[in-house]
């Protein structure tokens, strides 16, 4: 069984490599170091955001508010940067704080009010959106200080800063899930919430922490994005939701909880980014990207269900 699961994990990496090879054959420019770095840099905010979703999925829930939280955090950062005279670090802290707060509310709705997570976080989606509109009004914020933009555009030791941040986040989440009792408990809640409760785990608290983490990571993704684009509007976050669900599932994280991890999510996101990058290189209109992603989501989830049925 371990061999089987090893092969399954390996197969995803294999898919990524195969896809890359096909693209490289069609367009040799794909393999240029600059293009490869570009792909990883593009994927970085999505990987960070998807990491949060991965943790929520591990508990057997889903966080539909993720795109909305990205938007809200970005707009709050933009507001502090352009509408106040506060230091840029305050912008980061308040953006991250807003993410945590959104997660706290979602978590309470799920754990205490016992709303299904899809409904609770869908509500949060609207609230976050509403707040974003209320704060920003009709005009986008743009033109941020250079120190802040460094987060999105800077280069450290030849590698873009977003990649450094993404690697750090991935490492921390990996260690958190694997080597902390809270991480273990998250798997337990997803694997069997009843047994978790009957084993004396504080399921409510674990769920609330989970959604707060998801909010925090979404906010971090939003900050990097804002810093990179040097501008922010209300549509900045929404496109991140679908890939955030698709990439963990493609990476082997089960929609029913208890199984999966951050490694697969990174591969899943890279597959999608490579797909988009390839479409650009091959001059396929970016308008078809949504179509490709939709198809990939369905296929990925179907594969997940199919494997589960086969191994059950």
Partner 1 sequence: MLAKDRPLLEMRGISKAFPGVQALDKVDLDLYPGEVHVLVGENGAGKSTLMKILAGAYERDAGEIVIDGEVQAHWNPALAKAHGIAMVYQEFTLVPYRNVAENIFLGREKTRAGFFLDKRVMHQEAHSLMESMGVPIDTRLPVMELGVAQQQMVEIAKALSQEARILVLDEPTSALTVREIEQLFETIRRLKARGVGIIYISHRLEELFIIGDRVTVLRDGQRIGTRRVAETNADEVIKMMVGREIKDLFPRRYCQPGEVALRVQGLCTHDKLRDVSFEVRFGEIVGLAGLVGSGRTETARAIFGLDPRTAGTIEVMGKKVDHIDPPRAVEMGIGLLPEDRKRDGIFPILPLQTNVVMASLKQLFPRGILNPKKEQLEAGKYVKQLRVSPPDLAREVQYLSGGNQQKVVVAKWLCTGPKIFIFDEPTRGIDVGAKAEIHAFMDQLANEGNAILMISSELPEILGMSDRIYVMHEGSIVGEFPRGTDAEEIIRCAMGAKACK
Partner 2 sequence: MQMSPGSRKTLLRQVPTVVWVLLGMILFFARFAPAFFTLKNAVNLLTQGSILMILCMGVIVVKITGGIELSVGAVMTLAGMVMAWALAYAKLPIPVALLLSLIVGGLCGLLNGFFVTKMDIPSFIATLGTQGIAAGISLGMNNGNVIWGLPASIGYLGNGTFLHLPVPMWLSVLAFLCSFTLLNFTPFGVYVYALGGNEQALVLTGKPAWWYKTLVYVYAGLMAGLAAIVITGRNMCAQPTVGLGMEFEAFSAVVLGGSFAAGRGTAIGTVIGVLFILILRNGLNVMGIPTYIQLAIIGPVLIGAIVLSVLVEGGAQK
- Rounded to whole angstroms, how far apart are CA atoms 301 and 312? 16
Mask for 208-247, x = binds partner 2 (CB under 8 A): --------------------------x-------x--x--
- Rounded to whole angstroms, how far apart are CA atoms 230 and 240? 18
Find the shortest distance in angstroms from Cβ 149 to partner 2: 26
Among positions 67, 152, 243, 258, the unique one binding partner 1 when judged by CB under 8 A: 258
The angle formed by the CA atoms of residues 170, 172 and 177, to the nearest 5 degrees, is 95
Burial of residue 281 (number of CB atoms within 10 Å: 0-12, 13-18, 19+): middle
Among positions 201, 212, 217, 250, the unique one binding partner 1 when judged by CB under 8 A: 201
37: partner contacted, choices partner 1, partner 2, none (Cβ within 5-8 A by kind): none
Q: Does 301 bind partner 2 (CB under 8 A)?
A: yes
Q: Does 112 bind partner 2 (CB under 8 A)?
A: no
CB atoms within 10 A of CB 94: 18
Question: What DSSP designation does 160 have?
Answer: E
- Residue whose structure tokens are 């997940």: 304
Mask for 202-241, x = binds partner 1 (CB under 8 A): x---------------------------------------
Burial of residue 248 (number of CB atoms within 10 Å: 0-12, 13-18, 19+): buried
Residue numbers 135-174 binding partner 2 by CB under 8 A: 136-138
Among positions 34, 139, 157, 179, the unique one binding partner 1 when judged by CB under 8 A: 179
Residues 216/271, Cβ–Cβ less than 8 Å: no
Which is nearer to partner 1, 29 or 180 (by Cβ)? 180
The angle formed by the CA atoms of residues 208, 71 and 133, to the nearest 5 degrees, is 110
Residues 244/68, Cβ–Cβ less than 8 Å: no
- Rounded to whole angstroms, how far apart are CA atoms 73 and 33? 32
Residue among 249, 304, 305, 246 at smallest CA distance from 272: 246
310: partner contacted, choices partner 1, partner 2, none (Cβ within 5-8 A by kind): none
Q: Does 28 bind partner 2 (CB under 8 A)?
A: no
Q: Does 264 bind partner 1 (CB under 8 A)?
A: no
Among positions 83, 126, 143, 145, the unique one binding partner 2 when judged by CB under 8 A: 126
Mask for 69-108, x = binds partner 2 (CB under 8 A): ----------------------------------------
Where does this chain touch partner 2 (CB under 8 A) — which range of 9-17, 92-100, 124-132, 188-196? 124-132
Residue numbers 256-285 binding partner 2 by CB under 8 A: 285
CA 273 to centroid of chain Cα atoms? 13
143: partner contacted, choices partner 2, partner 1, none (Cβ within 5-8 A by kind): none
CB atoms within 10 A of CB 134: 9
E strand or H helix at 255: none
Among positions 67, 103, 107, 183, the unique one binding partner 1 when judged by CB under 8 A: 183
Residues 276/295, Cβ–Cβ less than 8 Å: no
Which is nearer to partner 2, 144 or 233 (by Cβ)? 233
Q: Does 61 bind partner 1 (CB under 8 A)?
A: no
Residues in contact with partner 1 by the rule CB under 8 A: 1-2, 178-185, 187-188, 191-192, 194-202, 254, 258-259
């Amino acid at each position: 069984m371990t061999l089987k699961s090893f092969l399954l994990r390996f197969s995803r990496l294999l898919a990524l490599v195969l896809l890359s090879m096909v693209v490289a054959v069609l367009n040799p420019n794909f393999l240029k170091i600059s293009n490869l770095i570009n792909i990883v840099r593009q994927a970085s905010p999505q990987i960070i955001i998807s990491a949060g979703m991965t943790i929520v999925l591990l508990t057997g829930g889903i966080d539909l508010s993720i795109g909305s939280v990205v938007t809200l955090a970005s707009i709050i950062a933009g507001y502090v940067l352009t509408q106040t005279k506060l230091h840029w670090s305050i912008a980061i802290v308040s953006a991250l704080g807003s993410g945590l707060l959104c997660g706290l509310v979602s978590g309470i709705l799920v754990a205490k009010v016992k709303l299904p997570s899809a409904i609770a976080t869908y509500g949060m989606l609207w609230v976050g959106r509403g707040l974003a509109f209320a704060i920003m009004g009709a005009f986008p914020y743009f033109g941020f200080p250079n120190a802040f933009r460094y987060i999105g555009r800077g280069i450290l030791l030849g590698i873009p800063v977003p990649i450094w941040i993404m690697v750090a986040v991935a490492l921390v989440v990996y260690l958190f899930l694997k080597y902390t009792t809270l991480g273990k408990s998250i798997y337990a809640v997803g694997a069997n919430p009843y047994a978790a409760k009957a084993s004396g785990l504080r399921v409510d608290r674990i769920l609330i922490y989970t959604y707060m983490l998801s909010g925090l990571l979404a906010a971090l993704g939003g900050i990097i994005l804002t810093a990179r684009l040097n501008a922010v509007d209300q549509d900045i976050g929404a496109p991140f939701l679908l890939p955030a669900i698709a990439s963990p599932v493609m990476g082997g994280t089960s929609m029913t909880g208890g199984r999966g991890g951050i490694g697969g999510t990174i591969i899943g996101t890279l597959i999608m980014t490579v797909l988009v990058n390839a479409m650009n290189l091959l001059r396929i209109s970016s308008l078809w990207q949504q179509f490709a992603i939709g198809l990939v989501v369905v296929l990925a989830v179907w594969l997940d269900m199919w494997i589960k049925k086969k191994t059950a």
